[in-house]
Amino acid sequence: MDNTALDHLRQAQEAFDAALRSLDDPAVVSEDRPLDPALVAQALDHFSQAAHGFAASEETTLEAQARNGLAEVLLKTIGPGPAARTQLTQAEQSARTGVERLDSVREPALTLRGLLALAKAGRYVAELAPELREARLITTSSLLDGAAYVAKELGDDVLDARVGAETCCVVSQRFDGERDEKLMDAITRGEEAIAAFRRAGTNTFEQAALLHHLGNCCMTVAVDRAHWLSKGREFYREGAAVVDARRYPRLQRMLDEHVAMVDTLLQNNDFALPDKEMVARYGSGITTALKDSDAETARRLGWGFLAWGWSVQPNPNVHVGEAHKALAKVAFARGDWDDAQQHLYHSLGVLSAVLSERDRWYYLVGEARDLFKQAIERNGQGASLESWLQRAVRSFVDGDAACVRAARIVDRDPAAALPEFELALNLFPCHPAAHFYRGAIRSRIGDLAGAIADYDFMLTLKPKSTHTLANRGVVKKALGDEQGAVADLDEALKLQPGNPELEKIRAEIMKKREQGAQA
Amino acid sequence: MLAGRPLRDSRIETLANGSKFFSLLTMNVFGYAGDDSNPRPIPNRTLYTIKKKMSDYLQAGIATRARTDSGGKQPWAWDALKFAFCSDRVKMPLEQVIPIPREDLWWLAASDDLVLLSDRVTHHYTTVDHVAREADRIFFLDEWPERIFLKAGLNAADVAAQVDPYLAGVLDDAAPGLKNKKHVSITRDEFLRVIVGLVTLDTPALLDRYLAYRPEAKQDFAIRYAFGAALMDVEMDQLAKFAVPHLKAAWQLAGSKRADVNAERVAALFYQALAIAKFAQLFPGEPLAAKPFADELDALLVKVSEQSLLDRLDVEELARIGNAAGHARDFAASLRYLEHAVGRDPAHDGARHLRAMVKSVTGNWSGVAEDLVVALAANAERSRARAAERDARDPRDRHGLDDDKARLGGLRGRRCEELELLFNAYVNLGDFVRARATAEEVVALEPDRASGHRMLGALAMQAGQKEEARRHLAAAREKETAPGGRAQLDQVLASLGAPPAEPAA
C-alpha cells in the first residue's frame, strides 16, 4: 500500500468535502456560489498526486477512486470561457481511466460514480461543441444505460434517481429520430427518478431541479399540446412546492414564473412550440434528411422553416435569415450554387437588418457572409464579390423601405406604387408584403396570371395570410377556377372562422357558381 | 397495497385505446364459429403463441412506421412489448409465460389486455375494456357478447356476467357505428375464479413495478427467470440489458434451489442476455457503456465454462448473439457464434445468412456464396412447407390464413435479401452468368423491389450496354423508396445521360 498516495487521497477528499459543505449552510443562498478556490486547488492537487501514486503502485481501485474524485472536482468547477474545454477533457480522461481500472461487479459504487462523471462530461461536451452534439448525446445515453444497470444492482434509490435524472437531461436534448419520442422517453425516465427521490425522502434540490427540467420537457412536446402543457405545469408546481426557497431563490422564482406562463398559454389557447425548439427541430430535420441524401425532404423542411420564421413576430427576424441559410445549405448539398447564392443573399440581408454588432447572435451574420462568399466564388463571380456583399447587406433594408414607400400610396396611386414594389422585389425577391401588394395591383390591372404568381409565392412564405388567400380566391374566380376559389376561401375561413368579409366573398362565389350551374 | 397496476406510458395507453376501438368495431361482425354445421377444429393456441403473434404484428407495425414518412406519426415507446402472464397454478414453460399468484392478475389487468378465461370446461379468449377497481368489476369487449360463456347458466364457475349496452348507450347518437355494441362485466371474485392468464402491452418497467408491488417475488426463481425470458423472447437486442438483472437473480436463486430447475440452462440464458446486452451497448461507439455487462460476463465465465453455456443455447439463440456482435462490428466474435450455430444445424437459413453477411465484410466471397446457396435451399424448403400448411388450412380460419400470408411474405423477403447478397458474391467472384440468374430471380419474386432492377442495370453497365443499363436503372429508380437510393440512382442515370426523374410530389 502506497501510504503517501493514501494520504493524498484522504486530504483531497477532505478538501473537496469541506468545499461542498460550505454550500450546505441552510442559512445562505447556495445558488451560483462558487466553491472555495483554495479548497478546490487543494483537492485537485491531492487527487492528482494520489492518482499518480496509486497508478505507480498498481493499486487500481484506489487509483480509480482518486481519478473519480479528480473528475468530480473538475466538473463541479467548470466555468465559462475557453478553459472549460480543457477542463472537460481532463475530467473526462480522468473518469474514463478510473472506470477502465475497475471491475464493475466487485466495485459497483465506484464504477457508478465514474460513469456518472463521464456522463456529465459528455453532456457538457455536447453543449460546448455543437459539431459533436448529437454523437455525444447518443454515446452518453448509452453510458447511462450501463450506469442504470449498476445502480439497480446496488439497490440504492438516490443513485438510481441520479442516473434517471441525468438520463432525462441527456435524452431530452436529443434530436435524432422522432423528437417527441425522445422527449417522452426523457419524461418517463425523469418521472421514475422523481419516484425514486420521493422514496429516498432526501435531495429536495435535485428533485426540484429535475421537476423544473421535466416541466421544460413537457413544454417542448409537439403533440397534444394542451395535455403536455398541463402536465408541465404540474411538474413546475410540484417543484415549487419542494424547493427550499431560502437557499435556491432563483429556482423557486423560475418555477413560479413557469406556472404563471403555462396558465397564460392555456388561457390563450397558445399551443405554439417555443422558438428555440422549432429552430432545433427544423435544423435537425434538415441535417438528418441531408445525411440520408433526401434533398427533397430537406428542401421541404427548409421552406417550412422559412414560412415559420415569417410567422414569428417581429417580421422579419433572425429565424428568417437562418431559414434562408438552411435552404442555402440544402442547395449546396444538391450542388445548386445559384440557388445557394440566392438564399445566402437573402440571409445576409435579413440578418444584417435585424442584428447589431452588440448582439450575441451577431456571429450569424459572419457565418452568412462566409457562406455567401463561397457561393459567389463557386459561381465564378469572385471578381464582383465586394459589390455583391454590399448589395446583399442592404438588400432587406432598402427593399423594405421601397415597399413601405409604395404601400403608403398604393390605394390612391397604384400606377406609381408598382415600380416601387418592383424595386423592392428586385432588391429583396423574397419580400412577402411586396409580393402581396404587387399581386393586388396586378390583379387590378388585369394581369391575373401575374397576380396568382405573386399570391402563390406570398403563401409559400406566409401560408396563414387570410388576406392573400381571399385575394387569390377572388383572382381564381375571375380566371374561372371557382373550385380553387372556394378552396382558398375555405382555407381562409378555417384560419378566421366566422369572418364576415370572407364569408361574404365565399357566398358571392357560391352564388355565381350556382347561377352558372343553373344556366 | 396498490389497487391496481399504475397507468402505463401515455403512448401505450393511446395505442391500447385505439386497438380497443377496433375490438369494438369487430363485435358481432364475424359469424360465431360454433354455429357452423360442420365447425372447424379449434386451432391449437396458447397464451404464448398468441403473445408471439401479437408481438410479430407489433414489430411489423413498428418496422412499417419506421419506413414511412415522419409526417403525422404518433409517438411510440421504443421499448414497448407484449408480456404473457398466467396463474401460477397453471403449469406452463417459464420461458413462455410468467407465472404469478392468481390474485395478482387482477392487479395486472388493464385496458386492451387479452385474457384467457376458463371454467375448466370452456376456455375463452376475450379483450379487457377497462377495470373499475373501486367497483370491483372488470369489463370485456367480446366478439360475441350475447354468447359469452360467462353468462349465468353457461358456465361451471358460478359466474353471472352482466351484458350491457356499451357505455350505457350514451354514444348511440354521437357514434352510430357503436350502436348495439355491448360490453360484458363480471366482479373481481368472479374474475379470479375464471382467469387463467393474460397478454398485455407495456415496457420493461412493468416488471419493476410488479416487484415493487410484490417484493417477495424478487426472491422467486420462477418469476425472475420468466421475467428475463420474456424480455429475451421478444428478440429486441436493446431489451437484453433489462433482462440481465432478472436472469442474474434467477441464476443465483437457481443455484440454491429445487432439483427440477435446470440451472445450466438458466446460466446459458443469462449468458446470452449478457452477451447481447454487451454488444448492443457497444453499438453507439462508447466502449465503457458495455463495461458493466462485459464485467458480469467475465464473472460468469469464471464460474461456468463458456462451452457448456454455448451447448445449452439453441441455434436461434446462438445466431442472435452472432447478429448482435455483427451489429457492434465485432466480426471475429460474430463469426465465432455463427460457427457454433451452423455447427449445430448446418442447414439453418438464418445462421447461414448472417454468417454470409459477416463473411462479406471481410471479403470472403466464396464463403458468402457457399453459405447462401445452403440458406436459399433451406428457405425454399421452408416456403414449400408453409405453403402446404396454408393449402391444408380450413378456409374459415382467418387468423391462421393471415399468419400464413405474413410468414410466406417474410420468407420471400428474406429470400430476396439472400439473393441480393449472393449477387454481390458472384460479381466479386467474376461469375456474371450466375449473378444475372440471381438478379432475375429477385425481379421474378418481387417485381416491385428496386434491387433486382438495379442489379440487372449494374450488370449491363459492367458489360458496356448503356441503353440496357439505363432501362433497368430507370425501372429501379421508379421503384426505389429510400430517398438516399433514389438520389444515388439519379446520379448514375445522369452519368448515363438519362433525363432527370420527376421529383416526388
Domain boundary among B214, B232, B251: B214
**What per-residue confidence (pLDDT) applies to A117?**
97
Contact (CB, 8 A) for A214 and A197: no
Give pLDDT, residue B394.
Answer: 86
Higher-pLDDT residue of A315 and A33 is A315
Whether residue B505 is predicted with pLDDT greater than 60 in this model: the reply is no
| CB contact (8 A) between residue A149 and residue B10 | no
Q: Lowest mean pLDDT of A170-184, A208-222, A378-392, B398-412, name the range.
A: B398-412
The tens digit of pLDDT for each residue in A5-45 reads 999 999 999 999 999 988 777 777 777 788 999 999 999 99
Nearest to B291 among A104, A139, A153 (CB): A104
pLDDT, tens digit (0-9, with 9 covering 90-100), for B121-132? 999 999 999 999
The pLDDT of residue B504 is 43
* pLDDT given at position A519: 63
* B442, pLDDT greater than 60: yes
- Can you spell out the DSSP letters for B395-435? TT-HHHHHHHHHHHHHHHHHHHHHHHHHHHHHHHHT-HHHH
Point out the domain boundary residue: B214, B230, B255. Answer: B214
- Residues B75, A105: C-beta atoms closer than 8 Å: no
pLDDT confidence bin for B72, thresholds 50/70/90? low
Contact B73 A178 (CB under 8 A): yes
Residue B503 pLDDT > 60: no
The nearest CA of chain A is from the CA of B206 a distance in Å of 12
* pLDDT, position B403: 85
| In a domain? residue B494 | yes
Residue with cell 465465465: B301
- Report, as an integer, the average pLDDT of A207-219: 97
CB < 8 Å & 24+ apart, contacts of B443-449: B445/B412, B445/B415, B445/B416, B445/B419, B446/B412, B446/B413, B446/B416, B448/B479, B449/B416, B449/B479
DSSP for A261-293 reads HHHHHHHTT--PPPHHHHHHHHHHHHHHHHHTT
> What are φ and ψ of residue B86, in 5° steps?
-140, 165
B296–A contact, CB cutoff 8 A: yes
DSSP 8-state secondary structure symbol assigned to residue B217: G
* Rounded-to-integer distance, Cα A90 and Cα A73, Å: 11
Nine-digit cell string for B316: 436461434
Asked whether the beta carbons of A302 and A323 are under 8 A apart, the reply is yes
What is the tens place of the pLDDT at every residue in B473-495? 999 999 998 888 888 898 899 88
What is the tally of helices (H) and strands (E) in chain A?
23, 0
Q: Residue B22 region, left (φ>0) first, then alpha (ψ -120 to 50), else beta? A: alpha
Q: Which of A77, A78, A55 is nearest to A66 (CA)?
A: A55
DSSP code at position B128: E
For B487, the domain range is: 447-505
pLDDT of residue A405: 96
Within-domain flag for B487: yes
* Coil vs helix vs strand at B197: strand
- Stretch among A98-112, B6-20, B309-323 having the lowest mean pLDDT: B6-20
pLDDT of residue B169: 63
3-state DSSP call for residue B243?
helix
Number of domains in chain B: 2
Is B69's pLDDT higher than 70?
A: no
Q: How confident is the model at residue A329 (pLDDT cuts 50, 70, 90)?
A: very high
Averaged pLDDT for residues A69-96: 92
Question: How far, in Å, CA of A256 to CA of A248, rounded?
Answer: 13
Asked whether the beta carbons of residue A139 and residue B504 sit closer than 8 angstroms, the reply is: no
- Average pLDDT value over all residues in chain A: 93
pLDDT at B2 over 50: no
* Contact criterion met (CB < 8 Å) for A178 and B77: no
The least confident of B19-33, B180-194, B360-374 is B19-33
**pLDDT for res A42:** 96
Q: Kindly state whether B400 is in contact with chain A, defined as any CB-CB distance less than 8 angstroms.
A: no
Per residue in B347-400, pLDDT (tens digit) is 999 999 999 999 999 999 999 999 999 999 999 999 999 999 999 998 888 878
What is the arithmetic mean of pLDDT over A195-208?
88
Q: Within 13 Å, how many C-alpha atoms sit on residue B26's CB side?
A: 14
Q: Quote the percentage of chain A above a pLDDT of 70.
A: 100
Whether residue B382 lies inside any domain: the answer is: no
- B487 closest CB neighbour out of A103, A141, A295: A295
> A with B: how many residue pairs have Cβ under 8 Å apart?
102
C-alpha cell at B6: 399504475
- Say if the Cβ atoms of B77 and A146 lie within 8 Å: no
Instruction: Identify the pLDDT of residue B166.
Output: 84
**Per-residue pLDDT at B431 exceeds 50:** yes
Note the pLDDT of residue A29: 77
Range with lowest mean pLDDT among A75-79, A235-239, B68-72, B365-369? B68-72
**pLDDT bucket at A174, cuts 50 / 70 / 90:** very high
Residue A373 burial by Cβ neighbours in a 10 Å radius (0-12, 13-18, 19+): middle
Predicted local confidence at residue A280, as pLDDT: 94
For residue B10, the chain A residues in CB contact (below 8 A) are 184, 227
Domain membership flag for residue B363? no
- Write the CA distances from B216 to B38, B94, B212, integer angstroms: 50, 18, 9
Q: pLDDT, tens digit, for every residue of B87-144?
A: 999 989 999 999 999 999 999 999 999 999 999 999 999 999 999 999 999 999 998 8
Measured in angstroms, the CA of B75 and the nearest CA of chain A are apart by 5
Cβ A88 vs Cβ A78: under 8 Å:
yes
Q: What is the pLDDT of residue B1?
A: 42
Q: What ipTM describes this predicted complex?
A: 0.90
Task: Report the distance separating Cα A53 and Cα A62, nearest Å.
Answer: 10
Q: Do B488 and A293 touch (CB under 8 A)?
A: yes
Assess if residue B144 is contained within a domain: yes
Residue B504 domain flag? yes
Give B30 to chain A, closest Cα distance, Å: 35
**Min CA distance, B281 vs chain A (Å)?**
6
pLDDT category at B257 given cuts 50, 70, 90 is low
In a domain, B180, yes or no: yes
Give the pLDDT mean for B206-213: 95
Beta strands B195-202 and B114-118, pairing class: antiparallel
* Chain A residues inside the 8 Å CB shell of B277: 149
Residue spans of alpha helices (H) in B345-482? 349-361, 365-392, 398-429, 432-445, 450-462, 466-479
User: In whole numbers, what is the pLDDT of chain B averaged over residues?
Assistant: 91
State which of B214, B248, B270 marks the end of a domain: B214
Residue B156, in any domain of the structure: yes
Q: Which of B62-66, B170-174, B348-352 has the highest mean pLDDT?
A: B348-352
pLDDT for res A398: 97
Residues of A in contact with B74 (CB under 8 A): 223
Kindly determine whether residue B288 and residue A100, on different chains, have CB atoms separated by under 8 Å. Answer: yes
Would you tell me how many other CB atoms lie within 10 Å of the CB of residue A391? 15
Tell whether the model's pLDDT for residue B502 goes beyond 60.
Answer: no
User: In a 3-state reduction of DSSP, which class is residue A132?
Assistant: helix
B224 in Cβ contact with B99 (< 8 Å): no
Residues A445-490 have pLDDT tens digits of 999 999 999 999 999 999 999 999 999 999 999 999 989 999 999 9
- Matching residue, cell 457561393: A375
CA distance A99 to chain B (A): 8
